[in-house]
Amino acid sequence: MARTVTTPRKLINTAFAWAVGLLIFFPILWTILTSFKTEAQAIASPPIFLNFDWTLENYAVVQERSNYMRYLWNSIIIAGGSTLLGVIVAVPAAWAMAFVPSARTKDILLWMLSTKMLPAVGVLYPIYLLFIQLGLLDSRAGLVVVLMLINLPIIVWMLYTYFREIPGDILEAARMDGASLKEEILYILTPMAVPGIASTVLLNFILAWNEAFWTLNLTAVNAAPLTAFIASYSSPEGLFFAKLSAASTMAIAPILILGWFSQKQLVRGLTFGAVK
Amino acid sequence: MATQHSRSVARLMMAPAVVLLLGWMLVPLTMTLYFSFKKYLPLRGGDLGWVGFDNYIRFVTSSSFWPSVQATLVIVGGVLAITVVLGVLLALLLDQPMWGQGVVRILVIAPFFVMPTVSALVWKNMFMDPVNGLFAHLWRFFGAEPISWLSEASMPSIVMIVSWQWLPFATLILLTAIQSLDSEQLEAAEMDGAPPLKRFFFIILPHLSRAITIVILIQTIFLLSVFAEIFVTTGGAFGTRTLTYLIYQRVLESQNVGLGSAGGVYAIILANIVAIFLMRIVGKNLDA
């Protein structure tokens, strides 16, 4: 039952919404534009919006100066590895809780969520110390494990809410028809669970990619991902707005694109299924 | 119904996740508690023995404690107020019929996907730089003296940066909640002659109350541990040292692990007070 809206009203809505949307997006747009300017144009007064000499020079300089590719690779390994590992651990757990619920399932779920509330800074030193003793400081393996652990509750929760939507009747029907447990999982549950798992992977990859407490404190050179790459630009050296913009654009572009695909999952994942 | 067999299989399937999280929680937590009762300076003598509650007392009586509590409250409170109020308005706007709704939604959500170090640096340099930042240009254009934002107005600046990052989150969740509102109810109210403001306060806002509560609770948990935004902008100077940042400095910068750990225990207690309320709401939702 769509409410009928007059065209002028829709026009006003559109204009207003676009204005607000562009205002919010402006810092990102400005960063992307600046990344194609020369340093002189980047700080020109008054600021130049579009009519500058587009150049790719900054990207080349950033890559050359700080080896962007290595940070990118670290980000991919750390975010990808922690997500993959988390899903491998979480799928069986969420599965069991969704399909064989017991009296304690709810308590276990809430307890898992509570581990997410642990402020990172409260356990910073112990983790730091453990990392030194285990030789994990500044290693990708160490960060994969830590990020897997901090995102595990969200992964379990998201998967649980998705799995719970798979109707139990289908399983019973399959059992009646004589499907074994293996067949049941392989041919009935898995195809129905794939979209949920994919959404979970996507959102957690984004969260791990942007994580900026552990990645800053537990890495130095070898394992530093893009969050640390950008932080290294915090002390300006001469003219650097355009290079900063190029570095920033390279750090956020991959995830911005992925993020746009994951809007829907974002709500469910970050509210632990409380808002759908 | 679940058989004995499937129950034990289920337990086995849950075991890895449960054991890992249990370890993740208990091991560092026990260590933090242990250190918090010690005088422990890794670079200046190491473990100097038990000191009872000394660290806990010293942490709260140090001159930087109350300012850090204040900074934390200003950031959490300021960002919550801005993101919830603007989030409701923005969600209402985005719910209206318009052309290109999908694109506007994408524009609004984008900041959430920008990593904290990037958004902090972009704001710090390209907007808030007192000489070359866009704000400085804007101020000069209107004939005003540019402000060095991060030193003269450090707290508002950081609140603004963090709000920009979290506004999309609030908007997205509130929009999802608005869209689940039964539009017939609104139409009925409209037909009965209820003016827009009344419809907002008596139908839309009550419907949103649960989503608003969830936004507040989840954001509070994340906002209490805002770190990168301060790390790359002010480094804790100019009154922006939050509780999280103070603990970080005690532990890693001045390597006073005992004192920092006591602070960590306070932070954990604080976060848990918020968490209890969130868990209640989420738990209720599980039964439904």
The 3-class SS string of B38-87 reads: EEEECCCCEEEEECCCHHHHHHHHCCCHHHHHHHHHHHHHHHHHHHHHHH
- Work out the burial of residue A176: count CB atoms within 10 Å of its CB; fewer than 13 is exposed, 13-18 middle, 19 or more buried: exposed
Kindly report the CATH number assigned to the domain that includes residue A163: 1.10.3720.10
Local confidence pLDDT in tens for the 288 residues of chain B: 456 777 888 888 889 999 999 999 899 899 999 988 988 887 777 777 888 888 898 888 888 888 988 899 899 999 999 999 999 999 999 988 888 888 888 889 889 889 888 999 889 888 888 878 888 888 888 888 888 888 888 899 999 999 999 999 899 889 888 888 877 887 888 888 888 888 888 888 888 888 888 888 888 888 888 888 898 888 888 888 888 888 888 888 888 888 989 999 998 888 888 888 877 877 776 665
Q: Is the peptide bond before A46 cis (omega within 30 degrees of 0)?
A: yes
Return the bridge partners of B38, or none.
B50
- Cα–Cα separations (whole angstroms), residue B250 to A73, B74, B141: 32, 21, 43
Q: How far apart are CA B135 and CA B90, in angstroms?
A: 24
Secondary structure of residue B188 in the 3-state scheme: helix
Tokens read off for B275: 């968490």
Give the chain A residue nearest B245 (alpha carbons): A121
Rounded to the nearest angstrom, the minimum Cα separation between B227 and chain A is 7
Predicted local distance difference test score (pLDDT) of residue A239: 56
Q: Which residues of A touch B183 (CB under 8 A)?
A: 1, 3
A63 is a domain residue:
no
Nearest to B137 among A18, A45, A106 (CB): A45
Rounded to the nearest angstrom, the minimum Cα separation between A64 and chain B is 20
Residues B183, A3: C-beta atoms closer than 8 Å: yes
Residue of B115, B175, B274 for testing the chain A interface, max A β-carbons within 10 Å: B115
A194 is a domain residue:
yes
Residue-wise burial string across B138-171, b where 16 or more C-beta atoms lie within 10 A, e elsewhere: eeeeeeeebbbbbeeebbebbbbbbbbbbbbbbb
Predicted local distance difference test score (pLDDT) of residue A236: 62
Rounded to the nearest angstrom, the minimum Cα separation between A205 and chain B is 11
Residues B112, A275: C-beta atoms closer than 8 Å: no
Q: At what angle do helices B205-224 and B257-287 cross, to 10 degrees?
A: 150
Q: How far apart are CA A18 and CA A28, in angstroms?
A: 15
Residues B10, A100: C-beta atoms closer than 8 Å: yes
- Work out the burial of residue A221: count CB atoms within 10 Å of its CB; fewer than 13 is exposed, 13-18 middle, 19 or more buried: exposed
The torsion angles phi and psi of A5, rounded to 5 degrees, stand at -125, 135
- Cα–Cα separations (whole angstroms), residue A137 to B27, B47, B65, B245: 18, 22, 30, 21
Please, are residues B288 and B217 in contact by the beta-carbon 8 Å criterion? no
Give the residue extent of every domain in chain B: 65-240
Residue of B117, B253, B281, B285 for testing the chain A interface, max A β-carbons within 10 Å: B117
Nearest to B271 among A95, A119, A213 (CB): A119
Rounded to the nearest angstrom, the minimum Cα separation between A252 and chain B is 6
Residues B14, A108: C-beta atoms closer than 8 Å: yes
Q: How far apart are CA A276 and CA B174, in angstroms?
A: 11
Instruction: Give me the residue label for tokens 């086995």.
Output: B12
Nearest to B282 among A28, A110, A124 (CB): A110
Predicted local distance difference test score (pLDDT) of residue B101: 84
A67 is a domain residue:
no
Q: Which residues of B touch A92 (CB under 8 A)?
A: 13-14, 16-17
Side-chain half-sphere CA neighbours of B84 within 13 A: 20
Predicted local distance difference test score (pLDDT) of residue B185: 80
Least Cα distance to B178 among B284, B74, B263, B92 occurs for: B92
In total, the C-beta contacts within 8 angstroms joining chain A to chain B are: 310
Structural domain containing residue A116: 77-224+263-270
A229 is a domain residue:
no
Cα–chain-centroid distance for residue B67?
A: 19
Provide CATH code, domain B65-240: 1.10.3720.10
Helices (H) and strands (E) in chain A, counts: 14, 0
Please, are residues B231 and B246 in contact by the beta-carbon 8 Å criterion? no
Residues 6+ apart with CB under 8 A from B53: B37
Cα–chain-centroid distance for residue B23?
A: 25
Q: Which residues of A touch B113 (CB under 8 A)?
A: 206, 210, 252, 255-256, 258-260
Q: How far apart are CA A35 and CA A57, in angstroms?
A: 9
pTM: 0.86
Least Cα distance to B264 among A77, A119, A1, A225 occurs for: A119
Least Cα distance to B221 among B244, B238, B240 occurs for: B244
A109 is a domain residue:
yes
Q: Which residues of B touch A24 (CB under 8 A)?
A: 107-108, 110-111, 164, 167-168
Tokens read off for A246: 């190029």
Nearest to A127 among B28, B112, B168 (CB): B28
A9 is a domain residue:
no
Report the sign of the C-alpha dihedral through residues B177, B178, B182, B186, in that order.
Answer: positive
Tokens read off for A232: 């290294």
Residues B264, A24: C-beta atoms closer than 8 Å: no
Predicted local distance difference test score (pLDDT) of residue A84: 95
A7 is a domain residue:
no
Which positions of chain A have pLDDT values less than 70? 1-4, 236-239, 264, 268-269, 272-276
Q: Which residues of A touch B265 (CB under 8 A)?
A: 122
Q: Which residues of A touch B100 (CB under 8 A)?
A: 14, 18
A69 is a domain residue:
no
Residues B109, A259: C-beta atoms closer than 8 Å: yes
Total tally of structural domains belonging to chain A: 1
From the CB of residue A151, how many other CB atoms can be counted at a distance below 10 Å?
27
Predicted local distance difference test score (pLDDT) of residue A1: 41
Residues B32, A126: C-beta atoms closer than 8 Å: yes
Cα–chain-centroid distance for residue A174?
A: 37
